[in-house]
Structure 1
């Protein structure tokens, strides 16, 4: 009997284990690092997808993650900044999320936020500024999601190790799992199709900071003398020399993620380019043509990243 019981337990554990996720990556690109306490699974991705589009994650039911991260805009939102549920003005421009799983830091100015699980707390419960307004509201979050039989089933499938416990930590893990599937490697440049003139200028003048397969070094740089109250990296380090330094954004889908720069102050790509110290107006047309080759239309229309076609995905 003991041997039979052991076999049953072992089979149950195998059945509950998430299947390995297949990363659709080009040759030479390694899968992103996954936190050991949040292995990716289809069930977790499906749950995260529904949560990403659910406005019940905001205090008044008016704002979902997708409110500020629109797929057709590369998961940016087209605004200079985005106000929170109480009307608090946003501090910084909403970044696009293409290949966000590979980013070493996940905000414009704070290198300490290094995982998508950590980042979820900033819009969900952050106070400076308030975005979704759920600080101190975890019991309400559990109540809202727990009253939905579909969510209860999806949390059990995604988190068998906790029997489907619904809390802020599991919400963050599911959202992180879904965002790790925001994979974008089907732009013209990924197929070797980019204007040669612009590519040459980019390599000579831009590629030091906009390096690698996502055209970012994930480092913090100052484009110009800091003149606003937003200290950027200096706010975190306390060093005057870091004032005005912000993380180099990925340029994937950059043509559709405007307005640009950390404060959304560049309303055209021309303005964004001219904000750089080595900018030359003569280079602008060729560079803009090159940047257009970074637009991945398959990513912008991928049905697997869009609003779920079925509210209850079991």
Structure 2
């Protein structure tokens, strides 16, 4: 039976009640409507756009140039695009990236398709609800360093951009009321807002699944249709964490006036038998200090999941087949990752009740994987609107 976007979303919201996972609640007093053309189907809500950073084509174009510009890093070696490659759905294909100074980061680079619909940003921070604010992490982070912007080089970075005639024109067009043509008033608030606008514009609903939902009964294979039924079933319970039109329970859009931001523990680690994850990578616990939040991370969208491997917050699962096996087992059995014993994640006391395990035949497993591959948006991964303007 065909499953529409609305049905799994309503099921998922109802099922979250009392599930024992962290549902951070936020009130919004503006629906954040925007006149910007996101090029989305008429029955799909537009992304939430904050009133203090309205979308304009000029701001998006400035953000596109900045996203791919290595001059935005302290030592001019990396850009945002260094860890977010368009052909990989703006993920990077490796478990853990390194910053501009060579320090290894603790979290896997997420894909950016439809990131505009996230209710919170990054893997484990319930307080980051703004794309513009989120950019302070890669720009200014010190432990570890990512792009390496700091007090000693901020003015130099602004000077690099302000002396470029192309940027003088781009900033003047994006901020006509505050920026003179010579670029002397360029600042990091404008940079963050422009980057947020470009990333917010990365919206697309052109997968085989979407075409099926829009009425093309031949858009999915028989195997993918069977996999879809499994995905939206209580048997696998996938949709409880990855429900709704964006395949993530952590979703906000232009019509949202009240939203939840759930975080889940999916049983990857249990180092001490009491729920601990590796130090420095314990999810929501690092902000709340609550023992029950150890190992809880935001459920990412499954859109483009085929091309955004490896998976999980630490990139510790390499393939979709292994992802299915992980959830079928109800968590990770004791093993060693990067030389560290994981403990028995299946017995993690904080593990979500939705990760209880299930049995699939070989054909059912393949059907489920084939359905996940139907969420790949090849058009997005090649769309010139999001391409590197410097290449």
TM beyond 0.5:
yes
In the TM superposition, residue 86 of structure 1 has moved relative to its aligned partner by: 1.4
State the match for 2:207 in structure 1: 187
- Say whether the 8 Å CA contact 2:179–2:186 is kept in structure 1: no
Gaps of 5+ in 1: 1-18
1:217 is aligned to 2:249:
yes
Say whether the 8 Å CA contact 1:74–1:96 is kept in structure 2: yes
More helix by share: 1
Distance in 1 (CA, whole Å) between partners of 2:111 and 2:49 is 20
Q: CA deviation at 1:279?
A: 4.5
Give the structure-2-normalised TM-score: 0.72
Deviation at 1:288?
Answer: 0.7
Secondary structure in 1 matching 2:264:
strand
Q: Is the 8 A contact 1:223 1:275 kept in 2?
A: no
Partners of 1:272 and 1:131 lie apart in 2 by 28
Distance 2:79 2:359 in 1: 40
Aligned counterpart in structure 1 of residue 98 of structure 2, from 83, 97, 119? 83
- State TM-score, norm by structure 1: 0.90
**Following the alignment from structure 2 to structure 1, what is the Cα–Cα distance between the partners of residues 389 and 359?**
45
Q: Is the 8 A contact 1:273 1:279 kept in 2?
A: no
* Aligned-residue CA RMSD (Å): 1.5
| Runs of 5+ unmatched residues, structure 2 | 1-33, 213-218, 251-261, 271-275, 331-356
Q: Which moved more, 1:77-86 or 1:227-236?
A: 227-236
String of CA shifts for 1:182-215, please: whole Å, max 9, x gaps: 0120000001133111001100121111011110
Q: Is 1:28 aligned to residue 43 of structure 2? A: yes
1-side partners of 2:373 and 2:61: how far apart? 31
Of residues 260, 266, 285, the one that matches 2:311 is: 260
Distance 2:38 2:99 in 1: 34
User: 1:124·1:133 contact (CA, 8 Å) conserved in 2?
Assistant: yes
Whole-angstrom distance in 2 between the partners of 1:266 and 1:28:
35
1:240 aligns with 2:255: no
**What CA distance in whole angstroms lies between the structure 1 residues aligned with 2:177 and 2:126?**
31
In structure 2, the partner of 1:127 is 142
2:65 is paired with a residue of what secondary structure? helix
User: 1:147 — aligned with what?
Assistant: 163
Number of residue-to-residue matches in the alignment: 292
What is the match of residue 295 of structure 1?
376
Equivalent residue number for residue 304 of structure 1: 385
Q: The residue matched to 1:297 in structure 2 has which SS?
A: coil
- 2-side partners of 1:181 and 1:82: how far apart? 24
How many Å separate the matches in 2 of 1:246 and 1:157?
39
Q: Do structure 1's residue 138 and structure 2's residue 150 form an aligned pair?
A: no
CA-CA distance at 1:20 after TM superposition: 3.6
